[in-house]
Amino acid sequence: MMNALFLILLICVTIGCKKAELKSEVILKKNISNPPVLPEDKSIRIDSTLLISFNSKALSDFYKSTNYRTIWHSKDNRKIILAELLKSDEEGLNPADYKVKTLSDFEKKSAKLDDSDLSKYDILLTSSLQKYISHLTNGTLNPRKLYKNWDLKGNYIDINETLTDLLDSDSLADKIEQLKPNHIVYKRLKKALRLINTFPKDNFKALKIEQIISPNDTNPSIIDIKKRLTYWKELQYKDSLTSIYDEETVLAIEKFQNRHGLAVDAIIGPATIASLNFSKKQRTQQIIVNLERWKWYPKEMGKEYVIINIPDYRLTLVKDRDTLRTHRVIVGRAKRKTPILSSKLTQVVFNPTWTVPPTILREDVIPAILKSINYLSESNIKVYDSNGRIVSPYEWQLSNARSYRYVQSPGTFNSLGMVKIIFPNRFSVYLHDTNHRDYFDKIDRSLSSGCVRVDDPLELTEYLLDDAFNWNLEKITEILQNEKTKFIKIKKEVSFHLLYWTAWSENNKLIFRDDIYNLDANLYSKLRN
C-alpha cells in the first residue's frame, strides 16, 4: 500500500515538473521573439524647455506627440541621417545649415553622453532633419517673396507626418531619397555639379578683344583663349600654343559655342568672350541656383505636359516621360519678362483678335500714334470708347487715350498670328503664332512683351486638339483662310509649365545658357547670406 502511494506521489511530482518546464519554455520563446529593450534603445524624457531656443512650432509639436521622449535610439538611423546631411551639398544645399559639425561631435561621444546631452542631440538631429526635408521639397528660399512674376504653388508637405513616416520605415535612406525632386533636369543638374567639381581650380584673367577674331586670324589673345578651351576640355593641345586661330581651335570654339547656346559660327566675338570669361566658381554657383529653382517647381509635372525653358528659348512636349516634340520659342525681353507659372492648356483660338494690353499701349502704341495718326489704320487696329463705339483716328484724343480699347483684327498681319493657345493665368499671357516668323532664326529670342511666340504652332495645335478627322492640318488651314475667329476647347488634359533654368548636363558635358533676366548671381547671394 505504501509503495502504491509513493508511486502515485512520484507521478504527480513528475507531471508538475513537466508542466513547469513547459511553462518556462513558452516564456523563453516569447522573450526570444520580443527581445527586451536594449540600453541603446532606451527612451529618455526630454525637458521641454530645451525646445524653446529653436523657436520652431513644428519641432515643439513633434516632441509633444512623442510625450517629450527621445526618438533617435537606433545608431544605424542616426548614421544614415548624418551621412545624408553631410552630403547635402550634392543637392546644392549647405551642410552647415544642418549643424553637421555639432551633430558629428555628438555622435562620436554618443556612448558616453549623459541624459541631458542625449536629449540635446536628439532635438538637434530632429530639427536638422526637419529643415532638410523642407529644403529638399520646397527649396531654401520662397520665390513668391522674391519675385512678383513667379506664380508657383508651394510643394505641400506635412513635415511631422513625413518625419513619422521616416521613423516607421524599414528603409530610411530610400525614404529620404524619395523626397528629392525626381525630374530628369534636376538629375542632370546634380550630374553637372559632380562634373564641375572634377575641374581644377582656375585663376584666369579676364579676356578682352578689340575686334572679332575669325578663323586663320593671328591675334595675341588666341593663346589665352586656347588655355581656356583646354581647361574646359574643348581643346587638347600637346605642342606649344601659338597665336594663330587654327582649324583645331575653330572646332573647339564651335563645341564651346554649342554648349553655351551661342551662334555656332566659329567667330570669336563679345558673346563668346563673355562665356569664356566665366570662372569655375561662377559656373558652380550657377548650377547651385538652378538646383534651388528646381526644388520650387512642381514635383509632378503631369502625365502629359508642355514645358518651356525661357533662357533656352525652347518648348518641349512630354508624354509618359518621353519627349514627343520640341519647338523654338520667343520669350519676353528683360523689361517685360515672361512669368514663371504652372497651368493647364484649355483652349485654342483660330484667327484671334488682339486687344492691346496696358503696358504695350502705354510704351508702344500711344507713342506710335503720336508720331503718325496713320499707325492705327496701317496696323489694322480699331479703337473703341467706353460705350463700345468705334473712335476714328481723327477723333482720337491723347487725354482719353488710356480709356480706349484697342483691338487688332484677325489676319496674317495680326501680332498674334493665326493661332493662340490659352492657359489660365493672372498675367494675361498665352502661347501664340507671330507675323514675324523670321525672328525664330535669331539666337537671342528674348524679344516679346511677355507672351510666348511658338514656331510651327499649327503642328502643335493639331497635336493638342487630337482629332484627326475634324482638326487635321487641312481643316485647320480652311478655317484660317476665312479669317473668322473660332474658339476650340482642348479636350485632353495637358499641363503647362513656364520655367527658368540656365544650366544642366548632357552626355557628360556641362550645358549653360545666358541668364537673360539676370537672376542667377542675385539668387546665389541670397542663398548664401
Largest CA distance in the chain: 142
In this predicted structure, what is the pLDDT of residue 10? 42
- Residues 233 and 259 sit within 8 Å (Cβ to Cβ): no
DSSP codes joined into one string, 250-307: HHHHHHHHHHTT---S--B-HHHHHHHT--HHHHHHHHHHHHHHHHHS-S---SEEEE
Q: Tell me the C-alpha distance between 477 and 267, whole Å.
A: 41
DSSP codes joined into one string, 169-185: -S-HHHHHHHTS---HH
Cell numbers of 61, please?
Answer: 509639436
- Would the CA dihedral through 231, 235, 241, 243 be positive or negative? negative
Q: Helix or strand or coil: residue 213?
A: strand
Q: Helix or strand or coil: residue 302?
A: coil
pTM exceeds 0.85: yes
What are the Cα distances from residue 370, in Å, to 30, 391, 407? 94, 16, 18
Walk along the chain (529 residues) and give the pLDDT tens digit of each residue: 434 444 444 444 344 434 433 233 332 233 323 333 334 457 899 999 999 999 999 999 999 999 999 999 999 999 999 999 999 999 999 999 999 999 999 999 999 999 999 999 999 999 999 999 999 999 999 999 999 999 999 899 999 999 999 998 889 999 999 999 999 999 999 999 999 999 999 999 999 999 999 999 999 999 999 999 999 999 997 778 899 999 999 999 999 999 999 999 999 999 999 999 999 999 999 999 999 999 999 999 999 999 999 999 999 999 999 999 999 999 999 999 999 999 999 999 999 999 999 989 999 999 999 999 899 999 999 999 999 999 999 999 999 999 999 999 998 889 999 999 999 999 999 999 998 899 999 999 999 999 999 999 999 999 999 999 899 999 999 999 988 999 999 999 999 999 999 999 999 999 999 999 999 999 999 998 8
In this predicted structure, what is the pLDDT of residue 21? 36
Q: Tell me the C-alpha distance between 83 and 344, whole Å.
A: 40
Cell numbers of 439, please?
Answer: 525672328
Q: Tell me the C-alpha distance between 487 and 498, whole Å.
A: 23
Q: Tell me the C-alpha distance between 524 and 529, whole Å.
A: 9
Q: Which residues contact 144 (CB under 8 A, 6 or more apart)?
A: 150, 152, 154
- Residues 454 and 437 sit within 8 Å (Cβ to Cβ): no
Strand 446-448 vs strand 304-309: parallel, antiparallel, or unpaired? unpaired
Angle, helix 57-65 to helix 159-168, in steps of 10 degrees: 40
Q: Which residues contact 164 (CB under 8 A, 6 or more apart)?
A: 65
Q: Which residues pair with 391 in a beta bridge?
A: 383
Q: Which residues are catalytic?
A: 432, 451
State the DSSP code for 472.
Answer: S
State the DSSP code for 490.
Answer: -
Strand 381-384 vs strand 390-391: parallel, antiparallel, or unpaired? antiparallel
In this predicted structure, what is the pLDDT of residue 239? 74
State the DSSP code for 45.
Answer: B
